[in-house]
Amino acid sequence: MQFFETTKSQSNIIMHSNLPTPPPSHSTSPAPSDRQKCVYECLPNLYHGSTESQLAKNVKIFNSQPDFAEEHPFFVADLSSVYKQHIRWKTELPRIEPFFAVKCNPDPYVIRLLAGLGLGFDCASQTEINTILSLPTNCPATENPSNNIIFANPCKAASMIKFARGNQVKMMTFDNTDELHKIARLYPDAQLIIRILTDDSKSVCRFGIKFGAPLDAVPHLLKTAKDLCLNVIGVSFHVGSGCYDPQSYVDAIERSKKTFEVGESLGFKFNLLDVGGGFGHDNFELLARSLGPAVDAHFPVETGVRVIAEPGRFYVHDAFTLATNIIAKRGSDDDINQDLDDQSPKVMFYQNDGVYGAFNCVMFDHAEPKARTLTVQSELTLDDPLLNEKMVKNEEISCSIWGPTCDSLDCVMKNHKLSKGLQVGDWLRWDQMGAYTICAASTFNGFRKADVHYTSGADSEESHQVRKLLQQTAPDLRGLIMYP
How do strand 149-151 and strand 120-123 relate by DSSP bridges? parallel
In our burial notation (b when 16+ CB lie closer than 10 A, e otherwise), range 123-152 reads: bbbbbbbbbbbbbbeebbbbeebebbbbbb
| Residues whose CB falls within 8 Å of the CB of residue 4, separated by 6 or more in sequence, listed in order | 43, 45, 46, 474, 477, 478, 479, 480, 481, 482
| Predicted pLDDT of residue 421 | 87
Q: pTM of the predicted model, to two decimals?
A: 0.86
pLDDT in tens, the chain (484 residues): 333 333 333 333 323 333 333 333 334 444 433 443 333 446 788 899 999 999 999 998 887 876 655 689 999 999 999 999 999 999 999 999 999 999 999 999 999 999 999 999 999 999 999 999 988 777 888 889 999 999 999 999 999 999 999 999 999 999 999 999 999 999 999 999 999 998 766 555 656 567 789 999 999 999 999 999 999 999 999 887 766 678 888 999 999 999 999 999 999 999 999 999 888 878 899 889 999 999 999 999 999 999 999 999 999 999 999 999 999 999 865 555 555 555 678 899 999 999 999 999 888 877 889 999 999 988 888 755 555 555 555 678 899 999 999 998 999 999 999 988 899 999 999 999 999 899 988 888 888 899 999 999 998 899 999 988 888 776 555 444 555 5
- Residues 405 and 237: their CA atoms lie apart, in Å, by 39
Looking at residue 18, its pLDDT comes to: 33
The pLDDT assigned to 476 comes to 54
Cβ neighbours around 278 below 10 Å, total: 32
Q: Which residues contact 81 (CB under 8 A, 6 or more apart)?
A: 318, 319, 457
pLDDT reported for residue 386:
54
Longest dimension (CA), the chain: 76
Distance CA 216, CA 376 (A): 60
pLDDT the model gives residue 140: 85
Set out the domains of the chain in order of their start, with CATH numbers: 42-77+317-332+344-455 (2.40.37.10), 106-311 (3.20.20.10)
Q: What is the spatial distance between Cα 197 and Cα 213, in angstroms, rounded to a whole number?
A: 5
Q: What is the pLDDT of residue 420?
A: 85
Would you name the residues annotated as active-site residues?
A: 406
Amino acid sitting at position 17 = S
